[in-house]
Chain A
Amino acid sequence: MPNLMELKYQVSNEDFTRAGEASSDVKKKLKQLGVSPDVIRRVAIALYEGEINMVIHAYGGEITVTISEEQITMTLADRGPGIPDIDKAMQAGFSTAPDNVRNLGFGAGMGLPNMKKNSDTIDISTEIGVGTTVVMTINL
């Protein structure tokens, strides 16, 4: 099945105030496409959590969102330090976010669990010192 649409975004880690711009744009595009509000909400939450993670933990990266007849696929590829222990990172409440990020209202250790909760599939591949790629799909 061919993809109906592919969206690409560069995420920078230099300005935390801009974190979420990609997710916001994806949300608008899905609305224009007439995707159901429930699906849009799940995509928005999962993607925004992922985008915030890229800004907090990695040195930026790239988000690709493809939309087909059956599903929305979100690929978040960062050039970051990698995740040493994925099982631990998936635990609600576990966080390695620094204090300055907590002061901004993030770093409660809910990011990855919330991404999992809102997506139908999630696949995380990570290599220490190289980066992490998260692929999430949400069925339409």
Chain B
Amino acid sequence: MTVGEIKNLLDCEVITGEDLLDVEVRTACGSDMMSDVLAFAKTSCALLTGLCNPQVIRTADMMDIVCIIFVRGKKPDEAMIEMAKENNLPILSTGHRMFSACGLLYESGLRGGKMDA
């Protein structure tokens, strides 16, 4: 699945990264807890979150997350958008709640990746 397909499936506004919609997303992770994202997220992963602060962008940078989707209509501020641009990180915003957003992506074939042994 691509970032652009996620945009269409979740009816997202593209906050930044209009030129990165072709980027491939292999797995997804939905969490408001960055500690858990740091412990569990996989590679080529999209992050769905309702948490909206600079540490979300930083966490995404550390984990090589390929796309952030803010749920529940959350929108990042200018400083966060700047950080995302520096890291070539596309940011989408959807009005869907977390559960629905994850469900719509799962229904279209996106998975969370294997559980750790």
Contact = CB atoms under 8 A, between A and B. Distances in A.
Interface in B45-93: 51, 53-56, 58-59, 61-64, 79
A108 B62 CA distance: 18
Grouping DSSP codes into helix (H, G, I), strand (E, B) and loop, the A interface class, with mixed when no group exceeds half, is helix
Interface centre among B34, B38, B51, B64 (most CB of A within 10 A): B38
A82 B32 CA distance: 28
B11 interface: no
Interface in B22-38: 32-36, 38
A58 interface: no
A117 B43 CA distance: 16
Interface of A: 16-17, 19-20, 23-24, 27, 37, 41, 44-45, 48-49, 52, 104-111, 113-114, 117
Interface of B: 32-36, 38-39, 43, 51, 53-56, 58-59, 61-64, 79
Given A27-B61, A45-B62, A105-B55, 15 more contacts: A17-B55, A20-B55, A20-B62, A44-B62, A45-B38, A48-B59, A104-B51, A104-B53, A105-B32, A105-B34, A110-B35, A110-B38, A111-B35, A114-B39, A117-B39
